[in-house]
Amino acid sequence: MSFTIQEIATALGAPAEGDLDVKVTGAAEPATAGPQDLALAMDPKYAGGLTEGAAQAALLWAGADWQAMGLKAAIFAPRARLAMAGLTRMMDPGPEIATGIHPTAVVDPTAMIGAGAAIGPYAVIGARARIGANARIAAHAVVAEDARIGDDALLMYGVRICARVKIGDRFIAQPGATVGGDGFSFVTPEKSAVEAVRETLGDTGSSRQQHYTRIHSLGAVTIGNDVELGANSTIDRGTIRDTQVGSGTKIDNLVQVGHNVQIGEDCLLCGLVGVAGSARIGNRVVLAGQVGVNDNIFVGDDVIAGGATKIFSNAPAGRVLLGYPAMRMETHIEAYKGLRRLPRLFAQVAALQKAVSKLAERD
C-alpha cells in the first residue's frame, strides 16, 4: 500500500505543508527511514536523525521548520501519540483472511455468518453461533455453540470463544486469548483450612485435608463494544450470572479475569494483572502490570494502581494506589523513603546504645 501525504494528513485531521503528492509506503524512525518512508519525529529531540536517514517526508511537531531539514513535505502532530494511533491504524493491513469461509473451516449449519465475514483455515464455528458482519476469524480460532460476536470483530490465531459468550462490535482478541472458560471454584465437604484462615486471619483451626469438589460454571461472559483482549489472556465465565466487561476496556497479555468479575467501561488492565472472582471494577480504572485485586471487593471509578500493587480491600473512587498492600501513592513513597533510612537509623541507635552504656559504666 502507498499513501500520499495529503491522504495521511486528511486521515489524521492534521495540517500538512509542502508537496502533498509525495507517496510513502510505510513509517520508520528518522535515522533508518528510506525515501519511501514517513519519518516519525514528533519531538525536537528526534530531529537529528533526519539527516542520517533518507526520508522525503516526516511527521513532525507543531511549528517545526521542515524545509531547513531538507524535506519535501511534512505533517504536523500537536499530540504525538494520538497521531501515532491514527497513522498505525491506517497503515496496518491486519491478518490476511480471505472473505468467505475457507474450505478447511468447520462451520455448523445452524450458525449464522454475517455479510462480508472472513473465516480462516481450520477455524471452528459451533452450533447456533452468530458472527457479525465483516468479522475476521483467523486460523484455528474457535467460536463455540450459542456464542455471539458483533460486527467488525477480529479473532486472531488460536482464539477460543466458549459457549454462550456474548461480545459486542469491534472486538479484538490477540492470539491464544480465551473467553468463557470455567471459573476456578471448588468446595470441601466441611470447612477448609482456607475458610478458617479467612475467619481467623491466620489460624487453620482443626481443619483436616479434604478433597475438593468442583463447582460448575453455569453463567457465561458478556463483553461490550470496542473491547480488546491481549495474547493468552483469559476471562472466566460466571458461576450463575455472567462475568462482564464494559465497552471500551482494553486488556493486555496474560491477564486473568476470574469468575463473576464485573469490569466497567474504558478500563486498562496491563500485563499480568489478576482479578479474583466476584471483584467489581469501576469505570476508567487503570491497573498497571502485575496488579492483583482480591476477590469480592470493589475498586471505584478512576482508580489508578501502579505496577505490582496488591489491592486487598475496597478502593474509593479516584484513589491513586501503590504498594503491597495497596495504599495511597504518596503514603507508599514516604513509607519507602523510611524503609531506605532504616540501616542508617539502626546504626544511629546502636551508636546511641553504646554511648549510653559507656555513661552507665562511668556512673
Q: Give catalytic residue positions.
A: 259
Identify whether the C-beta of residue 170 lies closer than 8 Å to the C-beta of residue 151.
yes
Q: How far apart are CA 11 and CA 27, in angstroms?
A: 15
d(CA 76, CA 61): 5
Which helix (H) or strand (E) segment is 251 a member of?
strand 250-251
Q: What phi and psi, each to the nearest 5 degrees, are found at residue 329?
A: -60, -45
Using the 8-state DSSP alphabet, how is residue 112 labeled?
E
State the cell numbers at 343.
540501616
Residue 96 near residue 109, CB atoms below 8 Å? no
Sequence-distant (6+) residues with CB within 8 A of 256 are 233, 234, 236, 273, 274, 275
Burial pattern 321-338, b for ≥16 Cβ within 10 A else e, equals bbbeebbebeebeeeeee
Which residues, 6 or more positions from 313, have their beta carbon under 8 angstroms from its beta carbon?
294, 297, 325
Nearest-angstrom CA–CA distance, 279 and 238: 12
The phi-psi region of residue 67 (left if phi > 0; otherwise alpha if psi is between -120 and 50; otherwise beta) is alpha
Q: At what angle do helices 80-91 and 5-12 cross, to 10 degrees?
A: 120
Estimate the share of the chain in helix, then strand, then coil, as percent rounded to the nearest 5: 20, 25, 55
Answer yes or no: are the C-beta atoms of 74 and 60 closer than 8 Å: yes
